[in-house]
Structure 1
């Protein structure tokens, strides 16, 4: 049974005349008769009684008419939905993110995106970088925001932003009144650190920053979220180095001070499957650039495959 057969059937059911139905369909009468016979063979019942004087629906034809209208309507709706998805006007977008993205423009970009694409269903999952990469590889996410550029070959990524680390201190700390903090002044302080299992990149980077300043920090507490880091610091349980965006968390009891030394920055990357055809990924990345805070990003999808490798190679170089 073909949709064409159902369309022919419905027109003939309205006209009850093969000649008039053929003219409405812009075909000759023989192909219409053949199509109706094929439909009757597929259904296994006669749909029309016809003789030299009249054409009328059989009880089976009457029963099929309502179902045929419903099927054609569903087919049209499915086609419209597919076209909307192809244009990026509808569909589903599954996004993973690290917690710090809440202070790096992700909520604003999502609000702008949803206002422009109200028919798109967006779902969010807060996951660490490793968890997001695994979900992307298993097609359970369409787009991720991570802290690492160490990617499997099946994924593409682009650097979204790089920001400085700052010292995070309890408001009652003896160094809290200083305008800037020299790292060496923290050598004897208990540190709150991002867990190695949650983010090996951040864990190793902070240890390396401290090592370059001439000391190995006394890691007293390890946690899995940046807000947990800041929260423990605010309660006087240690000091920390955190991305500057965390200042916007506005947790009482914690203060943030620039470092006197120039150190490696905190990087955030967008990552998505290689060859992904989901136009919604590109639309959301474009929402970030429209804030004016980010440069134009490389285009996603197969059409952009020529420019992606250089972006990926350069960010791998920065990471190493």
Structure 2
């Protein structure tokens, strides 16, 4: 059974006349008769009665009409869906991001992109940079926003944000009102830092900065999320060095002070596979390039 057979059947069922049905199908009458015979053989039942009075649907033919219409409608919908996916207007796009991207323009990019691709489903997953790299390599993400310079082979990337680290202090801290400070001013205080397993690059760089400033924290609290770091500091349980964008979190009890003589930047890269043939992904990368500008 072919979709052509179904179209011919439904036209003949509507006209109940081989000549008129063939004319509407822009074919001659013999091919129409042959296709109806082929369909009946495939179905295993006679669908039309043909006699001197004309053409009539059999009981089997009457029962087959709604099924044939449903099959053609389903085929048409499948074809439209395939075209829409190929054109980037439908389907799914799996996007990984680290929490700080919520303060670096990602919500605005998502909103604008969704407005131009309303039937494309965006699936967001908040993951650490390490987790995103693993998921990208396994093709479980289409694109990721990572905070690491480690770009695996076979991936393309664009730098979408670059921000300084700032000191995060409890509001009650003696230096909370300072215009800026050097790292040595925090010497001897407990440090709250993002976990090594979550962000190994920045975990190590922050500890190295402290060491270079002669500051060996007596206690190091390791947390999974930057917002958790700020939250713990706001409770007076230590100090931290965090990306500047976290000032927008506006967590009560935490203040942010610029650092002097610290040239470490917290970089965000948009990362995707070079060989991924996906129109929606290309459209999304263009939206990222248009919507985010490095500091």
User: Scaled by the length of structure 2, what TM-score is found?
Assistant: 0.92
State the 1:262 CA deviation. Answer: 3.8
State the 1:184 CA deviation. Answer: 1.9
Equivalent pair of 2:161/2:292 in contact (CA under 8 Å):
no
Q: Provide the C-alpha distance between the structure 1 equivalents of 2:174 and 2:121, rounded to a whole number of angstroms.
A: 49
Deviations 1:15-73 (A, max 9, x none): 12222211111122222222222211221112122235422211111111111111111
Q: Provide the C-alpha distance between the structure 2 equivalents of 1:7 and 1:294, rounded to a whole number of angstroms.
A: 56
Aligned to 1:251: 251
Q: Provide the C-alpha distance between the structure 2 equivalents of 1:262 and 1:239, rounded to a whole number of angstroms.
A: 16
Q: Provide the C-alpha distance between the structure 2 equivalents of 1:219 and 1:274, rounded to a whole number of angstroms.
A: 43
Aligned ranges 1:1-320 → 2 under 5 Å? 1-291=1-291, 293=293
| SS across alignment from 2:291 | coil
Q: Which runs of 5+ in 2 are unaligned?
A: none
Equivalent pair of 2:160/2:289 in contact (CA under 8 Å):
no
Of stretches 11-20 and 79-88 in structure 1, the one that deviates more from structure 2 is: 79-88
Q: Provide the C-alpha distance between the structure 2 equivalents of 1:273 and 1:13, rounded to a whole number of angstroms.
A: 51
Q: Provide the C-alpha distance between the structure 2 equivalents of 1:27 and 1:213, rounded to a whole number of angstroms.
A: 87
Deviations 1:210-267 (A, max 9, x none): 3343444444210000001001111111111111000000011111111111422001
Of stretches 96-105 and 39-48 in structure 1, the one that deviates more from structure 2 is: 39-48
Runs of 4+ displaced beyond 4 Å: none
| SS across alignment from 2:191 | strand
State the 1:76 CA deviation. Answer: 1.4
Aligned to 1:310: none
Q: How many residues align?
A: 295
Equivalent pair of 1:209/1:263 in contact (CA under 8 Å):
no
State the 1:13 CA deviation. Answer: 1.0
Q: Provide the C-alpha distance between the structure 2 equivalents of 1:292 and 1:159, rounded to a whole number of angstroms.
A: 9
State the 1:180 CA deviation. Answer: 0.8
Deviations 1:81-112 (A, max 9, x none): 22222222222222221111111111111112
Equivalent pair of 2:12/2:21 in contact (CA under 8 Å):
yes
Q: Provide the C-alpha distance between the structure 1 equivalents of 2:240 and 2:135, rounded to a whole number of angstroms.
A: 30
Distance 1:85 1:227, change over 3 A: same
Equivalent pair of 2:159/2:294 in contact (CA under 8 Å):
no
Equivalent pair of 1:149/1:157 in contact (CA under 8 Å):
no
Distance 1:291 1:139, change over 3 A: closer
Task: Report the aligned-residue RMSD.
Answer: 2.0
Q: Provide the C-alpha distance between the structure 2 equivalents of 1:292 and 1:148, rounded to a whole number of angstroms.
A: 18
State the 1:116 CA deviation. Answer: 2.2
| SS across alignment from 1:164 | strand
Of stretches 147-156 and 231-240 in structure 1, the one that deviates more from structure 2 is: 147-156
Of stretches 145-154 and 262-271 in structure 1, the one that deviates more from structure 2 is: 145-154
Distance 1:22 1:219, change over 3 A: farther
User: Scaled by the length of structure 1, what TM-score is found?
Assistant: 0.85
Equivalent pair of 1:166/1:256 in contact (CA under 8 Å):
yes
| SS across alignment from 1:179 | coil
Q: Which has the higher contact order (CA 8 A, sep 6+)?
A: 2
